[in-house]
Structure 1
Amino acid sequence: MSKQNRGRLIVIEGLDRSGKSTQCQLLVDKLISQHEKAELFKFPDRTTAIGKKIDDYLKESVQLNDQVIHLLFSANRWETIQYIYEQINKGVTCILDRYAFSGIAFSAAKGLDWEWCKSPDRGLPRPDLVIFLNVDPRIAATRGQYGEERYEKIEMQEKVLKNFQRLQKEFREEGLEFITLDASSSLEDVHSQIVDLVSNVNIHETLDVL
């Protein structure tokens, strides 16, 4: 399939309560309003058997070894990826609310080896664009429902932020378009910036892999 016909693979990352999920939905709605084919994917996908186990972990209903939960997060992405490829080949732009970068950033924040954290997702498709919504963890902590899940603690989020900054540097050196936006701006302003970035992203004929 030519690059003119395939869909784009767009990832939006951010700290918890950064407004990421809202922006993902706004982007999908915008693309559809422009008569483009678009679909939203949220990771973790809590509807699958693996996703339900992750959901229990995040809600602190069960305890799991850090390595085990990291591999479950990765498996949750792998079990969806064939469908994402199929959609992209049909010309559907796929918007991902979190991806492998979150897996690395959060697990490494718990002290797991950096390269080990990256390894389970090697081979997943490389996005055409990654947008990181940057917000001060202390500001995010003031937003509604903060603290309901395991990782929603300021100290943890500060470590995750540093890891995202490291990921951006490493992947940009590999040629990935990885952009940071100030998520403390208004909802409308952030949305407008995201739409501009997505509209102007350069795509290759085929997706590379991580």
Structure 2
Amino acid sequence: MIITFEGGDQAGKKTQSAMLQRKLRSAKLKVKLFSFPDYTTPIGKEIDRYLHGKRKYPAQVIHCLLAANRWERANDVIKAHEKNSVVIMNRYRESNLVYGITNGLKLDWLEKLDEGLPKSDLVIVLDVPQKESFARKKQNRDKFEKNKEFSNKISQGYRKLAKKKGWKIVNASQSKNDVHSDVMKVVTKKMRL
């Protein structure tokens, strides 16, 4: 099973991914966690340069790079999917759809970039208001994080696609333990734990 955490910047994806990993491991399940973009790969390093203003690309190129970053790790994801009960993704294919649409790209074109990669069995969108996102991290925000209007459109995009694609929305404005509790309700229902 692949469980993916999605949401705007500073929604708590990294925190909730780690909390879910610990919880599932304590239930004696084999779990592997991935984070995307993966900045340790050659393409990931290029994405990092773009996000911090050291490179300029048209929207199509950056979204191809984001997809290519997942393809760089495809064999690792496939092996993990075969060996583990659960693979947790801190962002995955779905974020490219939301960010791409917000950047004016077509959904079907974006979906084709990841065709062939394992699909998420459960997508949990951590929904946090843009104002709170900015309060959580005030400095060192990347290109996408800096723009409040863009950030607001991302939140709206996640809600809209969640409704269309059956993704689960969790209120991420609560304490991290309350968010985790809500996440576990969604996961338990899906996995029938």
Structure 2 length-normalised TM: 0.91
Whether 1:148 and 2:141 are equivalent positions in the alignment is: yes
Whether 1:195 and 2:184 are equivalent positions in the alignment is: yes
Shift of 1:143: 0.9
Shift of 1:107: 1.9
- 8 Å CA contact retained: 1:101, 1:167: no
Shift of 1:145: 4.4
Which residue of 2 is the match for residue 29 of structure 1? 22
Instruction: Flag the 1:91–1:113 CA change in 2: closer, same or farther, 3 A.
Output: closer
Picking from 156, 162, 169, the partner of 2:163 is: 169
Which residue of 2 is the match for residue 129 of structure 1? 122
Shift of 1:86: 1.5
Q: How does 1:29-108 map to 2 (within 5 A)?
A: 29-108=22-101
Whether 1:160 and 2:154 are equivalent positions in the alignment is: yes
Structure with the larger helix share: 2
Instruction: Flag the 1:19–1:146 CA change in 2: closer, same or farther, 3 A.
Output: farther
Structure 1 length-normalised TM: 0.85
Q: How does 1:111-126 map to 2 (within 5 A)?
A: 111-126=104-119
Whether 1:185 and 2:178 are equivalent positions in the alignment is: no
| Cα distance per residue 1:146-202 (max 9 Å; x no partner) | 552001121011111222122223323xxxxx1000001111011112123223315
SS at match of 1:122: coil
Instruction: Flag the 1:150–1:45 CA change in 2: closer, same or farther, 3 A.
Output: same
SS at match of 1:94: strand
Percent sequence identity over aligned pairs: 36
- 8 Å CA contact retained: 1:140, 1:146: no
- 8 Å CA contact retained: 1:39, 1:95: yes
Q: Give the ranges of 4+ consecutive aligned residues of structure 1 lying more than 3 Å apart after TM superposition.
A: none
Unaligned ranges ≥5, structure 2: none
SS at match of 1:131: strand
User: What is the one-letter code of the residue matched to 1:199?
Assistant: T
Distance, in Å, in 1 between the alignment partners of 2:139 and 2:95 is 18
- 8 Å CA contact retained: 1:13, 1:97: yes
User: What is the one-letter code of the residue matched to 2:5?
Assistant: I
| Cα distance per residue 1:95-138 (max 9 Å; x no partner) | 00001111111122122233322221223222111000011111
Count of residue pairs brought into register by the alignment? 191
CA RMSD of aligned residues (A): 1.7
User: What is the one-letter code of the residue matched to 1:93?
Assistant: V
User: What is the one-letter code of the residue matched to 1:171?
Assistant: K
Unaligned ranges ≥5, structure 1: 1-7, 173-177, 204-210
